[in-house]
Structure 1
Amino acid sequence: MNIEEFRDYCLSKRGVEETFPFDEKTLVFKVMGKMFALTGLEYNPAQANLKCDPERSIELREEYDGLIRPGYHMSKVHWNTVELERNIPHKLLLDLIDHSYDLVVKSLTKKLQAELASL
């Protein structure tokens, strides 16, 4: 998955916006104002930070050693850095983006969840 495919997939999700809150090189995707994915535009190969269930993170890091690792500059428990253009199956990358998005949506207030559902 290249960076354009990653961006398009993130933006295809309901209630998502892209921002540059840190600098002009770090693209952040938020759902209802809460971050679920970010990527550096200058990384080669492309990589992204995605939120993940802590137990699943451990399993993924073991299975994809070096390709999925603790989140760079993020909570190492709740975030993974994922290589986008390497040997990770495309379907798994989509699943990891979905998982990150879903975790953030579940953490939203009921009011924000209802607002998201109405979009």
Structure 2
Amino acid sequence: MPSEEEFYQEHILDHYEDPFHRGHLAEATHAHEDKNPLCGDVVRIELALDDDGKIKNVYFNGDGCVISQASASMLIEEMYGKTVDDVKNFTAEEMLNLYGPRLTPNRQKCCLLSWKVLQSAVHSPLTTDN
């Protein structure tokens, strides 16, 4: 039977190698992108909110380490179908717990990048006039 550490490693690699909803969302109503200037990780989250503030669809894209990209996939999967209030109430601590293994403070920044981007994305409507 695999150890807890082996389980987490496999789960993280699954999200990194076969991420949930990685790509571009053409019908996005909200989006935000940010980077970790210390390591260069980049995450962009695009989401479509319905009139009731529920996430109809959400995608992420980016580049960076396994932690930043796998945690983005995990977060997107967790928040799919949730409301803006659910997103606002989802704490950094809950994000770290969702990821799993304990991380050093510098690696926590990698994990929390997507959480930070999603918190901003729900407040960043896209304009339709170009």
Does TM, scored on the shorter chain, surpass 0.5? no
Higher relative contact order (CA 8 A, sep 6+): 2
Q: TM-score, structure 1 length as denominator?
A: 0.29
Normalising by structure 2, we get a TM-score of 0.28
More helix per residue: 1 or 2? 2
User: Which of the two has higher C-alpha Rg?
Assistant: 2
* Structure in which a larger fraction of residues adopt strand: 1
